[in-house]
Amino acid sequence: MFPLVREAVDSVIPVSQLRFIALSHFEADECGSLNEWLAVAPHSVPLCSKVAAMVSVNDVADRPAHAMADGAELLLGNRSVKWLDAPHLPHGWETGFLMESRTRTLFCGDLFTQGGTGAAALTTEDILDNSEAFRKPMDYFSHSTNTRQLIEHLAAESPLTLACMHGSAWSGDGAALLRALGERLVGNVSQPW
């Protein structure tokens, strides 16, 4: 899909100006075209967790990664992103997420993956039921023990936009929707988390 995504990105910013090619975790649908991006953006480097850099990216990528620790921030012109480690949520030891502080946008990777084509770029309709209908039969979340704490780690950032990788982005009370997802994952839990 690299040519299609490149064309879409080019409609926002010339791809040659990109400085970071970020990934949540190391999978083909997250970063299979990483080296193609590094080639068309000669001043760019991969951006990922320290674990991702150690176990995969620094071996596979054509340039070394800018590895982010949990809570580390990175100023990007008039935007600023913060790295949030989330090992095994939804899967992958190296997994983490970027939170853009000024627009309160969480780039939430495989969380809230929705079936279908995602006809609306941004929606305020419920996306949880749709994404749960996708998750349950596929069972692609790790059966890990820290789900509750990790969901709270993300919810504490109070995102207003959830930028889904698969399906429509969502606008609303992101902390509440993350906690609702957490309840589906962990089972009914009494507040507070």
Residue ranges binding Fe ion (CB under 5 A) = 27, 29, 110
DSSP string across the chain: -HHHHHHHHHTTS-GGG--EEE-SSSSHHHHTTHHHHHHHSTT-EEEEEHHHIIIIIHHHSSS--EEE-TT-EEEETTEEEEEEE-TTSSS-TT-EEEEETTTTEEE-TTTT--SS---SSEE-S--HHHHHHHHHHH--S---S-HHHHHHHHHTT--SEEE-SSS-EEES-HHHHHHHHHHHHH---PSP-
Close Cβ partners of 168 (under 8 Å, ≥ 6 residues apart): 114, 118, 119, 120, 121, 122, 123, 127
Q: Residue 43 CB, nearest distance to Fe ion (Å)?
A: 27
Q: Residue 139 CB, nearest distance to Fe ion (Å)?
A: 13
Q: Residue 191 CB, nearest distance to Fe ion (Å)?
A: 29
Q: Residue 75 CB, nearest distance to Fe ion (Å)?
A: 27
Q: Residue 110 CB, nearest distance to Fe ion (Å)?
A: 4
Please, which residue, 167 or 174, has the CB nearer to Fe ion? 167
Please, which residue, 29 or 62, has the CB nearer to Fe ion? 29
Please, which residue, 142 or 171, has the CB nearer to Fe ion? 142
Please, which residue, 27 or 152, has the CB nearer to Fe ion? 27
Count other Cβ atoms within 10 Å, centred on residue 119: 8
Please, which residue, 55 or 158, has the CB nearer to Fe ion? 55
Please, which residue, 64 or 116, has the CB nearer to Fe ion? 116
Q: Residue 90 CB, nearest distance to Fe ion (Å)?
A: 7
